[in-house]
Structure 1
């Protein structure tokens, strides 16, 4: 017997002697239809808009997607960030318009008399503020569910520094959430206190903790591991955890004038401009920064050559095809030469979130999300409103968002009666 025959024989013998558990798994896989495998294991990883379209495939798929248990699992599943809420884009700007958009980019379903500002977002739950109404509300843009929230007793002006914390584990069946608002203790003091709102209590409370946070940037708020974080203009990041009541203050690991914080995999990260590239760090268990990804050059973030379809050739080809009735082949791409943008003040780092570590960069109207592990780029251009043709968005006001089907618990506002259905007396109000 040759060496090859002996190897094959050993392999067959090992297969026959497989454990009973492995054999049962083989029988289960063979017996389960592919449609059931997709319904149970694949649908939960799709964006909400894509999953909604698949409800028409089969009644069992529609029932699964409409289930509250599916919504909880969908919010807990790891996924990339979907896009950003931008004031100049008229609302939500997704990286994938076809599959990861929201029904109302401007959040028109919200009870606001004018444009709303998204203050922060976590696992699909967004905290919004209406300046005209001076009102807060929490919503899920993908499902258009919303709940009113009373304004905090004290806050920063003109934009409240609020971070929404959402528990995306499989045990949050109600969709409970918490809001943390950072407020300066006194004008010009540089010390900040924290107010906490929970959907279960329906009221704000002042935390005992106080932190030095001079120059706190209200729009930089991000949730990471149950802690609300903000960046400051003096090179620090300040975090507060309602669960532990602890405050953390960390220093920027590089140039404090060129950095941004974000959340990846439930942990705080930061991106720092380093020469002609970007370095990415992760906050370690000991409270210090550690390298999270390889250094990314500007050539990777903003490549010189961009592949684009030849628009004029496509239009001409379609016209010729209609006249002759022949099928037209796809137009060949053309290479468009673009000037390499140097990583100076014209290129800005933005916040980020998601299961994967994606660095977000704004260059003019080019908005790029770069996956630091797979080196994959996603790009979208920031549109300009008609009245802003000559004006570019400077990245001052924005909120990063990830679409999910997360449930949203209605906030029981303190002091308001709760209607409870009684079989004998109908609806009974309890204080």
Structure 2
């Protein structure tokens, strides 16, 4: 009787996931962590894998599972965008020139797989697209003058709890009141609006330096500090950084903004040395005098 009970228990456990076939484990557990180009090749493995990868739910799951940086979009000598992958075998897009869009475009910003492009002629509209699926949408005309080189940033954070891929575009533009203002596009509302916040002062932003991290948008400045715009409160602050040439950069120093683990990071190159610092405390400007609290932590 004891042997029978043990045997029955063992037979029942065979239905558990630990007894799944290897191909089923790979399909359910490993595939969502692969980049898009690798998944494209996996569709030729079998009909079952092709159907699995082509479902909207799998695309939603993969956007939350795979978060590695695949490469960089850059502008070629002809003006067309090109894509430089870190690993050509694993990463890539089918049409890096975005010829599937209605007109030639410039790549302005990107976030977690979505890319914002701008037309080269006419009213220069914005397009938001997925370069892997070639799905795109044309945004309505914005209200403010963003200039020929807009300081625009995309904020897109995929979430398992939100199946709809909502995103925001934030553009800083010069204000008539001697400062800069901010216009925000919401995909949920499908419209632009100008924020009530105005950052006063003669501060020239570097358009291509914009980056989204930790719920805020950051731009580098050619004069002083890093301008931060919080998307929740829609308030601006100035973050000083010795790495981003907060005060008139010396010659030979190049800097770039980015993000690591959801936090703002600044990389600076001085001669043969590369310094990377991460913003760990955004409230040092409100601390009491002589406080030992540090805003930046040296990472490398």
Fold in common (TM above 0.5)? yes
1:247 aligns with 2:236: yes
Runs of 4+ in 1 over 3 A off after TM superposition: 24-30, 285-289
CA distance in 1, matches of 2:60, 2:118: 25
Aligned to 1:193, which of 157, 162, 181?
181
Normalising by structure 1, we get a TM-score of: 0.58
Normalising by structure 2, we get a TM-score of: 0.82
Deviation at 1:215, TM superposition (A): 1.3
Note if contact 2:113-2:130 (Cα within 8 Å) is conserved in structure 1.
yes
Cα 1:206/1:144, change in 2 over 3 Å: same
CA distance in 2, matches of 1:255, 1:198: 30
Deviation at 1:26, TM superposition (A): 10
Note if contact 1:196-1:242 (Cα within 8 Å) is conserved in structure 2.
no
CA distance in 2, matches of 1:254, 1:25: 58
Which residue matches 1:34? 22
**Could you give the per-residue CA deviations for residues 93-151 of structure 1, whole angstroms, max 9, x where no partner exists?**
22222221101010000111x3x111110000111111213111101111111000023
**Could you give the per-residue CA deviations for residues 356-389 of structure 1, whole angstroms, max 9, x where no partner exists?**
xxxxxxxxxxxxxxxxxxxxxxxxxxxxxxxxxx
CA distance in 2, matches of 1:26, 1:286: 53
Which residue matches 1:421? none
Aligned to 2:112, which of 105, 112, 123?
123
Deviation at 1:25, TM superposition (A): 9.8
Cα 1:184/1:98, change in 2 over 3 Å: same
Alignment of 1:16-415 (within 5 A): 28-88=16-76, 90=80, 91-112=82-103, 114=104, 116-133=105-122, 134-186=124-176, 189=178, 191-212=179-200, 214-254=203-243, 256=245, 257=249, 258-274=254-270, 276-287=272-283, 289-294=295-300
SS at match of 1:56: coil
SS at match of 1:109: coil
Cα 1:196/1:86, change in 2 over 3 Å: same
CA distance in 2, matches of 1:139, 1:292: 36
Deviation at 1:181, TM superposition (A): 1.0
Deviation at 1:292, TM superposition (A): 4.5
Q: Any stretches of 5+ residues in structure 2 without a counterpart?
A: 1-11, 284-293
Higher Cα Rg: structure 1 or 2? 1
Coordinate RMSD, CA, aligned: 2.3
CA distance in 1, matches of 2:108, 2:192: 17
